[in-house]
Structure formats: C-alpha cells, structure tokens
Amino acid sequence: MECPQLQVRNLRTHFFTENGLVRAVDDVSYVLNKGQTLGLVGESGCGKSVSALSLMRLITPPGKIVGGEILLDDLNLLDIPEPQMRQIRGNWISMIFQEPMTSLNPVFTIGNQIMETIRVHQKVSRAEARDLTIDVLSKVKIPAASNRIDEFPHQMSGGMRQRVMIAMALACSPKVLIADEPTTALDVTIQAQIMKLLADLQNDLHMSILLITHNLGLVAEASDHIAVMYASKVVEYTSTRNLFTSPLHPYTQGLLTSVPTLGMPKNRELNVIPGQVPNPLYFPSGCKFHPRCPLAENQCQEEEPLLKEVNPGHWVACHMIKGEVTPLQESDHDH
Amino acid sequence: MRSLQDWIPGWGPWRMGQHLKGAIVATLFLLLMIIANWQFDHIWTSLLLTASKFFGATVTYTTRDLDFLVSSLFVIGMLAGLLFYSRFSCRRRRLAEHLSSVPESQWTIVWRQFRKNPLAVAGTIVILILYLIAFLCPFLAPYDPVEQGDRVEERLLPPSSTHLLGTDRFARDVFSRIIYGSRISLLVGFLAMSIAVTIGTIVGAVAGFYGGWVDSLIMRFVDMMLSFPTLVLIITVIALWREQSIWIIITVIGLMSWMGVARLVRAQFIALKEREFFQAAQALGAGNSRLIFRHLLPNSMTPIIISATLRVGNTILLEASLSYLGLGVQPPTPSWGNIVFDTKGNLFTEWWMPLAAGLAIVITVVGYNLVGDGLRDALDPRLREIN
C-alpha cells in the first residue's frame, strides 16, 4: 500500500559563509510515500526550506550539498548532470512558494507564464499549450479561466495568485509537489480553500506532497506523516496520528503543549520551551536540544543522538528514549 | 461601408472616442500629404534616379541625392503607416468591445500615467517634431546646407526674409544648416546611446547573473573605465584615426558611455535573483537563457529605458562639445556643435548664429530629459501613489 516516492537519506547541505560553516541541513532523512503528504515541521531557520531547495538542487553558493542521497523512485537526484536535472524540475518535481504576491513574473500574463512552463517540458504548439493552460487553470478552480488567462499578476488577488502558482507547478503533472509554506501569506479562509484544493488535486493526480510549514494545525489536517526538524536535524518522524497522540521527543512535546487550545482558561500562561533557538554558526555539542531540554543528562552534552525506531514506524533521535538505531527508510510496507 | 471608412486616417480613432489620437493621426497625415504634394518633383526624381542607378544606368549619384531618397521613402512610408495604423487600431478597438473585459497591459497603464504629466508630453512632442524635421530636412531646408553663395556679396548677412538666420562666413544659409544639423545630433544621440545600452546591458547581465569571480572581474574593469576622464579619452581615441567620420564618433562615444548602464543592470539582476518568481522559474526547470531573457531582462527594462532616455541628452552634448573642439563632425557637414565653432570669430557681431544653434541643442537635450523624467515617474509605481 505505502510505497516510497521520494527518499531523502543523510542529506547534508552546508553553507560556507565568511563567518564560518553553517550546517543548514545536517544528516536529514525522511520518506515521502506515493500519493501521500509528508509534513515537514519546525521553527524558522531550522533548515526546512533549505532541505526543500536541496531536493530541487537549487542551492546556490556559498551553499553546497555535501552529502547524502535523494532518491526519486530509484534515481539519485544528486548524481545526475544539471541539464537533466533541469528536465526534472517542473516536470517530475515542482514547487510552490510562500509568497504568491512575488512568485509570478510581473511583466508577463499568467497564461504566458504557464504556457512557458509547459513548452519547456513538452513538445506542443502554442495553441495546444494554451488549451492545456486553460485546462490547468480550471483545475485549480479559477473561474472564467479562458478570460483570466490573459491577465497580469497585478490584476489578481493573493489567493488567486497562489492558485496560479499551483497551476503552474501542476502544469506538467509532477510526481512530487513541494509546498513551501503555501498558505502563510494568505488569510485563514483562503488558507482553508487552498489546502482543500491541494488535497483534491492530490487525489485526482496521485501526486505526493511535501508540505513545509510551521503551522501544526495545518499538518495535523493535511499530512499522513510528519517529520519534525530542530536545528538542521530531523528529531522525530512518524505518522500524524502517532505524533499528535504520543509525541516522544521532548522538543515535539514542548511544541505541542505550547499551542493554545480552544477553551483553555483565559489567563493561564502558555507553556513555552525555555531558551532560544541556537545560532547555526555555534550549535551546541552533542544533542543540539540539550540546553533547552528538561530531560537532559551528561550523555546528551557529549554524544549526538541518532534516529532510532522506538515503535514500528516511529523514529526519534533522543538518548533518553530507548530503542534500536535503525536507518529511516521504506518503513512499514508489507506487501 | 464601415470598413472603407476605417481607411480614412484618424477617422476611426476619432469615431471610437479617441479624439486626441484621431486628431494627431489626421494632422500628421495631412501635413505629410502637403509636403508630398509640394515636393512631388523631388520625390519623383529621387525615386527615378535611384531606380535607374539600381538597374545599372550611369548616373551621378551624390550624397544629396541620397538625402532626398531617404526623405522621400520616409514620407511614403509614414503615409502608408498612418493609413494602416488607423485601419488596424479601429479593428483592435472593435475587437476589444466584443470582449467583456480587456486586460490592460503595463504599457497602457504607464502611458495613462505619462499623459498626466504635461512637461513630459511637451518633451515627447518636441522630440517627435525634431525627428520629423531630421527626416524631412531636404524638403524643409530652403537651401543646400553646404552650398556656398557669393563669398563677397552674401557673406555674413544678417537675418532677412531670404535667409531666415542670415549666412555664415562661407555664405551658407544658417537656417538650412541648423535644420540639417538636427540629423547629426539625433543620429549621434540615438545610435551612440543604443551602442552604450547594448554593451552595458550585456556586460551588466553577465556580471549580475553569474556573480562570483566573473562579476568581480567585470566590475573592476568597469571601475577602471569609469576612472578615465571621458572627454580626454574620446579626444585621444578620435585623434588616433586619420579621417574622422560621424560613425567613428558615434562608436567611440558609445564605447565610452556604457558603464553606468552596466552597473544599473547588474544591480537590478542581483536584486531580481532574490525575488521569488526567479526561484519559481528555476524550480519549474527554466534554463539560463530563459531566466535571463524572460525573467531578468524584461523586469530590468524600466531603469534601462529611463537611463537610456536621460543619457541621450549627455551624448548629444558630448558630440556638440567634440564638434566645437573641431574633433567631431567635420565641416562642411553641418552639426550644431560645429556651427557654434564656425562662428567663434564673430560671436558678438553675428550673435544669432551661435544662439540659434545653441538653442537647438538646449531644446533637444531638455526635451529628452523631460521625457526621461516623465518616464521615470510613470514607470515607478511608488511615485504613482502620490499623484
């Protein structure tokens, strides 16, 4: 039933800045199953977006992917030459961005831009590309698509532009869609519409979605599995149900208890995780969470914990939780 | 019936409610028709002459014949262009009425904004009239600008009805010379700026797009070029050539003034590369050339256009200074700069000559600068809020 579409193994992306080495993504692994959604959750600066850009191989200097594997089906994306990678971008893997207001080229009509994407990857005539564009625009539920195709980005609202972005990303029916905070810039009602739209499209097109966000409510609704990232590392990976019912890593627990809930007494203080997010230039030794961790012991300062499978399908990187160290990969697929 | 009406120049736009456009088209058409009628002999002869030359007849063909040919072709081309323009603007308009909502292009918006600025519109009109004069100068100038009259009787005449601005020390008609001079200034302004913008854009684009050591290398070269005193460098380069022609001057001026544009384009590219649509385009599999030509360059057009327009004035001034120093356009070919140069011996007695030529330079440069300022205001959406 569940078979992996995209596997990231021990991915490391480092930035060689003038101030020193920044390990933005350090030994990160996760699995995205076919037709499912994986939520990548973490606070700002924990390496979510860099890991997404690494999947597309769009890391620019001073950044560099220094190790790991990215397997799309059985193809390692880190091995193939750039011209071939260009064919994969937009065709097999596509991406939508956080800011719909600036993600579209302001000087061309939206139809023009979608047609361009189609014509990069498929040998079709202009007229055919236009038809395909109108198709995909109606797929993302833009009303009167055949009229709006000739509009410029500035003539559309934020929600509409995000729909156009999604249409553009879907124009070539990719296998994997990376959604980097797709609804952060939108208001709540539009947010719900866009998430609904993504879910519907996922069902229709059988694509896998990597949903990057810091919004826990969003992933709870939309994703099948969740990878929690803290300071360039995946600290917990499991199914959404598991994560919300029995979170194991102290960071995940802290995150979940710090979310205000409806019906909570008005003047009760929110739970917070003490301390601050560490500066990526000076990560603490051992477990990067130990200065803020309520369970920390001596071992945590010295030794970096590895991901271990605590329960079937539930990986945690913490010394205080017993389990066997196993590589995170094609997990519970027994067929 | 209706389609026949469309062919009447200006009538279509007028009837569709675009009175200004209609009036301009009609006036221009009428004006050109009058000129064509009035100079019919000249047009006809120059066409015949060129045709016979083309088919191998031995005819003497001078530069003046070439002047007439260019102007004749311009008149004919403009007449045809205006006819077709009113015809097709009619059709487009009618087509637009069928659609429920017509998408507005950015240029429509810019034009609407530009039109609100009376100074910019005045500048545009001045520049257009100057170009019209430059193209039509053989028809408009009463005399041949290089033909010398009687050196004793007709030398240094004051303005009169036969010589509107008098004659110079070689008994040439100054008014005609100033009309012909417009060609040099506008040609230099336009071509030198095109060269500068082309080189500047390419250099800036390469530096901005590739970054890293390519960028450092190119920008240090630009810094080096900028540190030369322009005029001295141009004088040196021109002095190295045996013969001086207008094309060499244009090329040299162009080659010496691209650095500003290069810096501008580079800065623009670096800024645009951080924008999300650029990343989005990359994420959708666009290659380098597509990224440059479809995403970066079109979005950099605004500052390029503005700086190009504003720099045309500089270029014209540079040519005038060179000609004034005797290094620019060589006599007897008239240019506004060398007209002033010619009169430097009798600056105070025949003051109308340098004054007229100087005024012509000022009007052109101010016209271009007004257009440039107007464009900047119209193209910058941040300024749009205030108005």
Q: Under 8 Å CB-to-CB from A218, ≥6 apart: which residues?
A: A39, A183, A191, A195, A211
- Residue found under tokens 């499912």: A36
Q: What is the DSSP letter of A117?
A: H
Q: Rounded to two decimals, what is the model's pTM?
A: 0.77
Answer whether residue B104 shows pLDDT above 70. Answer: no
Q: Residues near A80 by Cβ (< 8 Å), separated by ≥ 6?
A: A88
A20-33 vs A4-17, strand pairing mode: antiparallel
Mean pLDDT of all residues in B7-11: 77
Q: Provide the pLDDT confidence category of residue B335 given band limits of 50, 70 and 90.
A: confident
CB contact under 8 A, A107 and B284: no
User: According to the model, what pLDDT value does residue B99 have?
Assistant: 59
Interface predicted TM-score (ipTM) over 0.85:
no
Q: What is the pLDDT of residue B198?
A: 94
Check CB contact under 8 Å for B277 and A105.
Answer: yes
Q: What is residue B53's predicted lDDT score, i.e. its pLDDT?
A: 80
Helix (H, G, I), strand (E, B) or coil at A267: coil
Residue B194: pLDDT band by 50, 70, 90 thresholds? very high
Residues of B in contact with A94 (CB under 8 A): 283-284
Judge contact between A209 and A55, C-beta under 8 A.
Answer: no
First-to-last C-alpha distance (Å) of chain A: 7
- Residue A98: closest CA among chain B residues belongs to which residue? B276
- In this predicted structure, what is the pLDDT of residue A332? 47
The confidence score (pLDDT) of residue B367 equals 92
Report how far residue A223's alpha carbon sits from residue A31's, in angstroms, rounded to the nearest whole number: 13
**Beta-carbon contacts of residue B223 (< 8 Å; ≥ 6 apart):** none
Are the C-beta atoms of residues B324 and B336 closer than 8 Å to each other?
Answer: no
Collect all residues of chain A within an 8 Å Cβ-Cβ radius of residue B295. 105
Check residue A233 and give its pLDDT: 86
- Chain B residue with CA closest to A151: the answer is B103
Residues 6+ apart with CB under 8 A from B256: B225, B228, B230, B233, B234, B237
Max intra-chain CA distance, chain A: 67
Residue B1: is its pLDDT beyond 90?
A: no
Burial (CB count within 10 angstroms: exposed 0-12, middle 13-18, buried 19+), residue A53: buried
* pLDDT digits 0-9 by tens, B249-269: 888 889 888 999 999 999 999
Residues of A in contact with B280 (CB under 8 A): 95-97, 103-104, 165, 168
User: Sorting pLDDT into bands at 50, 70 and 90, what band is B385?
Assistant: very low
Q: Note the pLDDT tens digit of each residue in B38-72.
A: 888 888 888 888 888 888 777 777 778 888 888 88
Say which range, A108-117, A179-188, B98-107, B185-194, has the weakest mean pLDDT.
B98-107
Specify whether the CB–CB gap between B223 and B374 falls below 8 A.
no
Say if B229 is an interface residue toward chain A (CB within 8 Å). no
The region of weakest confidence among A256-260, B104-108, B203-207 is: B104-108
Please report which confidence band the pLDDT of residue B204 belongs to, taking 50, 70 and 90 as the band edges: very high
Instruction: Identify the bridge partners of residue B251 per DSSP, sorted by sequence position.
Output: none
Please provide residue B82's backbone torsions phi and psi, each rounded to the nearest 5 degrees: -65, -40
pLDDT at A139: 81
The token duo for A194 is 């866009």
**Which residues on neighbouring strands pair with residue A22, listed in sequence order?**
A15
**A1's tokens:** 């039933």
Average pLDDT, integer, range B176-195: 90
CA geometry: angle B302, A114, A163, nearest 5 deg:
100
What is residue B382's predicted lDDT score, i.e. its pLDDT?
Answer: 60
In the three-class reduction of DSSP (H, G, I as helix; E, B as strand; rest coil), residue A8 is classed as: strand
- Rg of chain A on CA atoms, in Å: 21
Matching residue, tokens 């000609």 = B323
Mutate to test the interface with A, among B277, B290, B299 (most CBs of A within 10 A): B277
**A169 touching B, CB under 8 A?**
yes
Query: Is residue B35 scored above 60 in pLDDT?
Result: yes
Q: Is A38 on the interface with B (CB under 8 A)?
A: no
Do the Cβ atoms of A168 and B280 come within 8 Å? yes
Closest CA to B361 of B126, B170, B161: B126
Mean pLDDT of chain B: 83
If phi > 0 it is left, if psi is from -120 to 50 it is alpha, else beta; for residue B191 that is alpha
Of B334, B330, B354, nearest to B182 (Cα)? B334
Residue numbers of chain A with a pLDDT score lower than 50: 331-335
Residue A104 to chain B, least CA–CA distance (Å): 5
pLDDT at B386 over 50: no
Nearest Cβ partner for A152 among B106, B277, B281: B106
CA–CA separation, B273 and B293 (whole Å): 13
B279 to chain A, any CB pair closer than 8 A? The answer is: yes
C-alpha to C-alpha distance for B359 and B174, rounded to whole angstroms: 14
Q: What is the pLDDT of residues A234-290, one digit of tens each?
A: 888 888 888 888 888 888 888 888 877 777 777 777 778 888 888 888 888 888 888
Calpha distance A151→A193 (Å, rounded) = 22
Which range (A133-142, A261-270, B226-235, B319-328) has the least confidence? A261-270
Highest average pLDDT, of A99-108, B54-63, B213-222, B225-234, comes from: B213-222
Q: Residue B354's pLDDT is what?
A: 85
The identity of residue A147, as a single letter, is N
